[in-house]
Amino acid sequence: MKNKILSNVFSLTNLFYATVFIYLVIVLIPYAFVTHDGPSHLYNSHIINELLFSDTSIYQKFHAFNPDWAQPNLSGYIILCLLQLIVPFLMAEKIMIALYVLIFSFGFKFYLKQITIYSDWYCLLVFPFLLNAVLFLGFYNFLIGLALSFWLIGLFEKYKKNLTGFRIIQLLFLSLLIYYSHALVFILCGLYVAIQIIIEWINGGNRNKYTLIIYFKSILVFIPGVFLFIIYLIQQKSAQIEYGKTYSALNRLSQLWFEMGSINFTGYSERNYTKIFYIILIILAVIKLYQDFVKKKNIFNVTFIVFLSYILLFLFIPDNAAGGGIITLRLNLMFFLFWIVWVSDVSLTKFTKVLILICYLINIALLNLRWSVIECGAIQCKAIIESTDSIVKPNTVISSIHYKPVRGFIGEYQIHSYIDFMSNLDNYVAIKHNLVTLHNYEAGNSSFASYFPVIWKEHKNAEYIWQPIGSGEILEYFKLSEFENKWNHTPAMILSLGSFEKKEKFKPLWDSKNKYSLLKADSVSFLNVYSLKEIKN
């Protein structure tokens, strides 16, 4: 009896639940869960609520809704809008990330359960990918779509032989949610189902009327999303979208050679762990190929073809297609997730169990490093919000200057210039005090060139500058002269975020008329606050 109780307590299911709980704690406990784009998404969700529920809001003068209702980039904003009506804004963001962790982890486990009898073991391999580079970049819509995609393809695998009316509605609803999260994930869900249908058609033999109806029902699930996507593409036809010409196949290949870009998102300490994880995946792949050879199984099943598709997409997609390096990072994440999926039917032996447990333990070590980054962002966020509380005036306009990269070491990490937690922290200040911040790049395009829900009313009068100032260094600032001339408004305050030693060196670039003077300097928070001279005096 005692042994039975112990085995239940230490079961794989309970280990999975406990680990998910640890992730939730890590997300919810800090002062804030700071990501690169997260504050911007939260700020624009705040603007949406103000536009909807306040006729006298300061945002009414500057912003409007994007009328493109087919834009496939909305789910995260809707969740953040709803949560901000209930809880404080920083908690709203943390709850949304916690929801992502739950949907992603349990969705992956549910999907594996449909395709392998060893799902309880192999689902443990997903944990290193929960707090990934895409999350720390703040791409919430994509990750919500990816999390939901595991539920969609899991339900498809479960019901594909018996797609009744209610099940079709379930899948159709999920496909629309995924479309309105991210078009890339929607397309790749359709690719998964299409590959499954083609394989079954080739191998099935019995191509009668009944099987054709099943295939038609499977395709029917994606038709509304495809219709919306076509409308969106037609609306984007007039947008000035450029594609890069710097493609290098060797460079792309090198990014997959013992590199896990979706995990190695900042610093260098984690690479010692992820290389072991990489080696273990290779060992499992070799075992998988050997077992399939011995059993004379056809290697070209749906999971292998999808895994192979992600390799090809990663290697050959244009540099600047839909975000260039950003889209390759997303494909890198999906590549490794479906690598796990592909090897998940490798027979369990003592050896394979040890490999999986090693990966799990590596993840615990990685999680400790993740925590140092999360805490770093939270401390920075708290310092900037508290240091500006007594200075800013509600219902005014502010702007920001940002120096990249931020120099310095924090714990075992050197903060990478791309994953820079301070880039959008002025958006948190703007939410707390109901300010308009000119640092709103999401609203920077017209509705015909934007996939964000909020736009500037006069987008051509809202120009944001990224200016190289040195080797690998960039100064980001708003073109104040344009704003003052065309909007007849002058920001009351400028928040300068970034390397403290550059506090005055580049001031003439963003303040050509010398209108602003330094009000407060904080070297610990890498923050300078400038105010209009007439306001200061």
Q: Cα(499)–Cα(100) distance, rounded to whole angstroms?
A: 33
Rounded to the nearest angstrom, the gap between the alpha carbon of residue 177 and the centroid of all alpha carbons in its chain is 16
Going by C-alpha positions, the residue among 233, 186, 178 that lies closest to residue 68 is 233
- pLDDT at position 43 is 96
Instruction: State the DSSP H helix or E strand holding residue 486, giving kind and residue range, or none if neither.
Output: helix 480-487
Nearest to 61 by CA among 426, 444, 396: 396
What is the sign of the dihedral through the CA atoms of 150, 180, 439 and 466? positive
Low-confidence ranges of the chain (pLDDT < 70): 1-10, 204-211, 237-247, 266-269, 319-325, 405-422, 448, 459-462, 472, 499-503, 523-525, 534-537
The pLDDT of residue 419 is 45
- Within the chain, how many helices (H) and strands (E) appear? 22, 11
Sign, CA dihedral 295-124-255-319, equals positive
* Terminal Cα distance for the chain, rounded: 79
Q: Are 455 and 446 in contact (CB under 8 A)?
A: yes
Rounded to the nearest integer, the mean pLDDT of the chain is 84
Asked if residues 132 and 89 have their Cβ atoms less than 8 Å apart, the reply is: no
Instruction: Give CA separation, 45 vs 49, 51, 113, 458, in Å.
Output: 6, 10, 36, 19
CA atoms of 374 and 146, how far apart (whole Å): 22
Domain map (residue ranges) of the chain: 2-30+68-348, 385-536
Looking at residue 242, the DSSP 8-state letter turns out to be -
